[in-house]
Amino acid sequence: MHEVRINNTKLILKIGDITEEEVDAIVNAANPTLLGGGGVDGAIHAKGGPKILEECKKIGGCKPGEAVITTGGNLKAKYVIHTVGPIWHGGSNGEEEILKRAYINSLKIAKHNKVKTISFPSISTGAYGYPVELASKVALSSIIDFIKGDDFFEEVRMVLFKEKDYHVYLRALESLSK
Ligand code: AR6
């Protein structure tokens, strides 16, 4: 685990399974239908139970870069924030801007719901193919910019499923801090 402090917010990088997180909200890397899928999305719905899907169906969908919130169902987290990252098409199709908005809009809806502790997965770097070396810099700079401008959160965690990704995020954080 690695921790840095930005104003009153702890920014944490850790290796783990996001469905086990004991935080106010975990973020899901969903798709625009919000009807579930593989990867972290599949794991969250499998462990969180049917209430999450019920609420997702009522919401009806989510555009790339936007975010919606549901119950955390059977998870330890009270809420799941569902956001949709960009599908990687080479990098000149607005991918970076959409990824940035996915993080920022997740933080905005979290704050709106008084979520003080939040865990993110590495959005778009699985099935959606965004190179993790690039996505890590976008993810961390978006989060850092937000928390520098708004001293609301107690903890923002990046929960990396793979040890390799954890080290990529660690290097990205070091390069951003220089
Ligand atoms: N905890 C934390 N991270 C995880 C977990 C977990 N339990 N499981 C996987 N990851 P992906 P995307 C990591 O594919 O690229 C879905 O089908 C994984 O190692 O879950 O945004 C949706 O329905 C990777 O680093 O999300 C969409 O159709 C990261 O989560 C599509 O995939 C993201 O991988 C979204 O693709």
The CA distances from residue 7 to 77, 143, 154, in Å, are 24, 13, 10
Q: Whose CA is nearest to atom 20 of ligand 1?
A: 39
Q: Is 28 in the pocket of ligand 1 (CB under 6 A)?
A: no
Pocket test for ligand 1, best of 35, 44, 101, 161 (most atoms within 8 A of CB): 161
User: How far is it, in rounded angstroms, from Cα 156 to Cα 83?
Assistant: 16
**For residue 156, what are the domain limits?**
2-176
Q: List the structure tokens of 161.
A: 């499923």
Counting the structural domains of the chain, the total is 1
Catalytic residue among 17, 24, 41, 165: 41
The answer to whether 109 and 69 have CB atoms below 8 angstroms apart is yes
Q: Is 128 in the pocket of ligand 1 (CB under 6 A)?
A: yes
The CA distances from residue 152 to 101, 114, 115, 156, in Å, are 18, 9, 9, 10
Mean local confidence (pLDDT), 85-99: 98
Q: Is 41 a catalytic residue?
A: yes
Mean local confidence (pLDDT), 135-153: 97
Q: Is 169 in the pocket of ligand 1 (CB under 6 A)?
A: no
Q: What is the pLDDT of residue 178?
A: 66
Q: What is the pLDDT of residue 177?
A: 80
> Global pTM?
0.98
For the CA of 19, the nearest atom of ligand 1? 7
Mean local confidence (pLDDT), 152-157: 98
Tokens 């000149």: give the residue: 92
Q: Which residues partner with 3 through β-bridges?
A: 12
Mean local confidence (pLDDT), 133-161: 98
For the CA of 132, the nearest atom of ligand 1? 25
**Residue 126 CA to ligand 1 centre (angstroms):** 5
DSSP string, 108-162: HHHHHTT--EEEE--TTSSTT---HHHHHHHHHHHHHHHHHH-TT-SEEEEEESS
Mean local confidence (pLDDT), 74-90: 98
Q: What is the pLDDT of residues 30-57, one digit of tens each?
A: 999 999 999 999 999 999 999 999 999 9
Tokens 């917010």: give the residue: 9
Which has the higher per-residue pLDDT, 112 or 177?
Answer: 112
Give the CATH number, domain containing residue 155. Answer: 3.40.220.10
> 70 Cβ partners below 8 Å, 6+ apart?
51, 52, 55, 56, 59, 79, 80, 82
User: How far is it, in rounded angstroms, from Cα 91 to Cα 79?
Assistant: 31
